[in-house]
Amino acid sequence: MRVVIVGASGNVGTALLRRLATDATVTSVVGVARRVPDRVPPAPYDIASWQGVDLGASGPDEPVVHRLTEVVTGADAVVHLAWAIQPSHDRARLRATNVVGTRRVLEAVRRAGVPQLVVASSVGAYSPAEGDQPRTEDWPTDGVRSSSYSVDKAAVERMLDEAVQRLPSLAIARLRPALIFQRASGREIGRYFFGPFLPERALGHVPVLPWPAGLRLQVVHADDVAAAYREAVVRRVSGPFNVAAPGVLHAEDVAPLVGADRVVEVSRAAARAAVAAGWHLRLVPVGPGWLDMAFAAPVLDTGRARRELGWQAGRDAATTLAEAVRGISDGAGTASPPLRPRHVPRHPARGRPVPETGIGR
């Protein structure tokens, strides 16, 4: 199989490249990114041939769609993972990459006659759901209006719904994972969500954990998400699939993972006001919509993925979050700039920084 991965240099893209590196079913991989390597990159990025495309480029669709069509022609499947979270204050730029970019990918796939498209959706696309009752894929995907991330994910879901009706010969699958973590994304998580004021090295030694009342988390390891994408591609499935690790995390589950001796519960209103103030002052990189989405997100029922993809998470929620905490504390990353570590590796002989490969978003 020839597989094109749009957004191959990010968190999930990196994990998917690792998964496909030893997969005899996939014989050719093309990685699409805004910036591409100027030399042979290290593993796992070395398994792909790289093509540079800026999905959110300003101007008309046609130049970007034409370029994408050239790249995806002859592919057996296209996996669309590209998504922007920052800069969170630039709403137009986020929409250009996330919504307009997805529209461009879809049009290129149509023109090239690619038989399958697998798209990264999210638990964030779902409409609000209270409690811990697991919800299946038929839960409404109208999003959370105060979250730009959720609004864009819901817009993409509507776009795919329309494409399913308009393009019956195209198999369209969409994965709706919970929060995706791995050690290698530690520095990225800290940079994108907590900003420069997070004492990263202190994670694992937090004496008191402030916790918004009623908050619960569902997570999944990037390698497990990559396994689900692999199965979606090789089985050529259609439709939505929830993907999450076993276990729902509450304050008492998270506290020992960050080294907290006790939990201090704060009200939703107080937590939201604090995040909103920090965001407006540009002290934190994400706005209060992320907290709204966290409260509203349903607990995911993953039964369909188990039945139709033969998928099963290799790590539970607590193990996954513990790995993420260590990664954030260590500033962990990879050779890809979206996942760049806190410290650039030094040349073993000369003691100088090793140049970046040029892999980008």
CATH, residue 80:
3.40.50.720
Residue 359, in any domain of the structure: no
Residue 360, in any domain of the structure: no
d(CA 285, CA 269): 19
Strand partners of residue 3: 29, 77
Q: Output the six-digit token pair for 198.
A: 């997070």
Pairing of strands 48-52, 28-33: parallel
- Residue keyed to tokens 């965001």: 279
For residue 329, CA distances in Å to 16, 72, 180, 182, 275 come to 24, 38, 17, 13, 21
Residue 361, in any domain of the structure: no
Residue 244, in any domain of the structure: yes
d(CA 102, CA 81): 9
Residue 52, in any domain of the structure: yes
d(CA 270, CA 282): 18
d(CA 69, CA 6): 12
Q: How far apart are the first and last CA of the chain?
A: 24
Task: Return the pLDDT at 3.
Answer: 98
Question: 303-356: per-residue pLDDT in tens?
Answer: 999 999 999 999 999 999 999 999 999 999 999 989 999 876 554 444 444 334
Residue 355, in any domain of the structure: no
Task: Return the pLDDT at 345.
Answer: 54
pLDDT means per 10 residues, the chain with 361 residues, are 97 98 96 89 96 96 98 98 96 98 98 98 97 96 98 98 97 98 95 74 78 97 98 98 98 95 96 96 95 98 98 98 94 93 60 43 37
Any residues with CB less than 8 A from the CB of 283 and at least 6 apart, and which?
195, 197
Task: Return the pLDDT at 359.
Answer: 53
DSSP 217-278: B-EEEHHHHHHHHHHHHHTT--EEEEE--S--B-HHHHGGGGT-SEEEEE-HHHHHHHHHHH
d(CA 44, CA 17): 6
Task: Return the pLDDT at 349.
Answer: 43
Task: Return the pLDDT at 1.
Answer: 97
- Give the structural domain span for 82: 2-339
Task: Return the pLDDT at 204.
Answer: 67
Looking at the structure of the chain, the number of domains it has is 1
Q: What is the pTM of this model?
A: 0.93
DSSP 113-149: T-SEEEEE--GGGSPP--SS-EE-TTS-----TT-HH
Residue 352, in any domain of the structure: no
d(CA 264, CA 259): 14
Q: Quick one: DSSP state of residue 355?
A: P
Task: Return the pLDDT at 342.
Answer: 86
Spatial contact of 360 and 336, defined as CB atoms under 8 Å apart: yes
Any residues with CB less than 8 A from the CB of 167 and at least 6 apart, and which?
110
Task: Return the pLDDT at 352.
Answer: 41
Residue 213, in any domain of the structure: yes
d(CA 185, CA 292): 23
